[in-house]
Homo-oligomer: A and B are copies of this chain.
Amino acid sequence: MIVITSNQTPEERVQEIISVIEKEGLQVHVSRGTDHTVIGLIGSIQPQLAEHLRQMKGVENVIKITKSYKLASRDFHPENTVIQIGDVRIGGGDLVVMGGPCAVESPEQIDEIARLVKAAGGQVLRGGAFKPRTGPYSFQGIGVEGLVMMAEAGKKHGLLTITEVMTPEYVDVCAEYADILQVGTRNMQNFDLLRKLGECGKPVLLKRGFSATYDEFLNAAEYILAGGNPNVMLCERGIRTFETYTRNTLDLSAIPVLQSLSHLPVISDPSHGTGRRELVEPMTKASVAAGADGLIIEMHTDPDNSMTGDGVQSLFPDQFAGLLRDLEKLAPIVGKRFETPKETVQI
């Protein structure tokens, strides 16, 4: 960490700042420039110290050189984290495809979609039972019932399941029925939820807040890791920018950046990342080319009549299957494994 004093800071004040640092058991290196004095800190630094120093009079800037997160950082964990659930391995070179509807609507709907996800080569069934909605009058999900329906469909068709959990009190019930718990973009900094997920053994897919920096995203993951749960996937799902033609701006640079800063698997969500069905296919391929470890894609048998209105970004089953066959060709070029079933199925 480096502390920069402003150019009018008197020498006594510089000494006061230094003594605050030394009281923490740290060494200092002082460089007196023509305009500024720069104080370098050496040793193991408590996070509060930066904040404390920043607010001292005479301090112009405090620059952190080491990252504020530790367990999520590749510096402290050089090998990739591989999350194994049943025979699905996430982060270890296999491309993992999660597919399904925005919301679970009925046993028939989720069963039929599960069949199609499996037939196309997907490994995980997605579906929401609790839905975060901007306004209070929109459909809010069918609740625990939906969890049960999805668990049955997953088991029947040999798929893992993933579902969103919105509040600490529902972590246990979601963990009972689903294999992976998803934290939505609006909850990325719902710290009580993150803490609760840290205690829960289940793998977590953490979606990036739609205005979260990489640093904030990795700090949010750190909450879960620090709670004792090492099975975290990071999910890029589009950020908010000035461009409104797409629902969000899918930030694919996040994939290689997060993989270099962290050892955690990185998943891409081209459905929410674009909000438009016709963009899901090219942006899925682009995600894989950029190095994604997996994908989460909305697919619906009757998008015209989906209950959440997200049908507009859902693929039709045949589009989904065709896309996965393309991924089978694309994956090996970027060093990933992915296979679709060879038998013909009815779509």
Binding site for B on A (CB under 8 A): 2, 4, 7, 29-36, 38, 40-44, 46-48, 50-52, 54-57, 61, 63, 65-66, 68-69, 75, 132-139, 166-169, 186-187, 189-192, 195, 210-211, 213-216, 219-220, 222-223, 226-227, 239-246, 249-253, 255-257, 260, 273-274, 278-279, 282-283, 285-291, 303-312, 314, 326, 329-330, 333-334
The majority secondary structure among interface residues of chain A is mixed
Query: Is A213 within 8 A of B244, CB to CB?
Result: yes
Query: Is A136 within 8 A of B223, CB to CB?
Result: yes
Query: Is A289 within 8 A of B330, CB to CB?
Result: yes
Chain B residues with CB under 8 A of A133: 191
Chain B residues with CB under 8 A of A222: 135-136
Query: Is B167 within 8 A of A192, CB to CB?
Result: yes
Query: Is B245 within 8 A of A242, CB to CB?
Result: no
**How far does the alpha carbon of A115 sit from the alpha carbon of B248 in the complex, in Å?**
41
Residue of B with least CB distance to A290: B286
Partner pick for A256 among B134, B260, B279, CB 8 A cutoff: B279
Query: Is B257 within 8 A of A279, CB to CB?
Result: yes
Partner pick for A311 among B55, B168, B253, B279, CB 8 A cutoff: B55
- Contact A253-B274, Cβ < 8 Å, known A68-B135, A291-B282, A305-B52: yes
Q: How far is the CB of A134 from chain B (nearest CB, A)?
A: 5
Partner pick for A135 among B30, B47, B252, B283, CB 8 A cutoff: B47
**How far does the alpha carbon of A191 sit from the alpha carbon of B135 in the complex, in Å?**
9
Chain B residues with CB under 8 A of A226: 136-137
Residue of B with least CB distance to A131: B191
Q: How far is the CB of A74 from chain B (nearest CB, A)?
A: 12
**How far does the alpha carbon of A66 sit from the alpha carbon of B35 in the complex, in Å?**
8
Residue of B with least CB distance to A307: B48
Partner pick for A283 among B2, B168, B187, B256, CB 8 A cutoff: B256
The complex is assembled from copies of this chain, and their number is 4
Chain B residues with CB under 8 A of A187: 190
Query: Is B289 within 8 A of A282, CB to CB?
Result: yes
Query: Is B51 within 8 A of A40, CB to CB?
Result: no
**How far does the alpha carbon of A222 sit from the alpha carbon of B279 in the complex, in Å?**
24
- Contact A4-B134, Cβ < 8 Å, known A239-B243, A289-B282: no
- Contact A136-B246, Cβ < 8 Å, known A43-B34, A65-B4, A290-B285: no
Q: How far is the CB of A103 from chain B (nearest CB, A)?
A: 11
Known: A29-B38, A52-B305, A250-B252. 17 other contacts (CB 8 A): A4-B65, A29-B31, A35-B66, A47-B137, A50-B309, A55-B311, A63-B63, A69-B135, A134-B216, A186-B190, A190-B190, A213-B242, A215-B245, A239-B243, A239-B249, A249-B249, A256-B282
Residue of B with least CB distance to A281: B256
Chain B residues with CB under 8 A of A310: 51, 55
Query: Is A253 within 8 A of B249, CB to CB?
Result: yes
Partner pick for A326 among B38, B239, B333, CB 8 A cutoff: B333
Query: Is B242 within 8 A of A240, CB to CB?
Result: yes
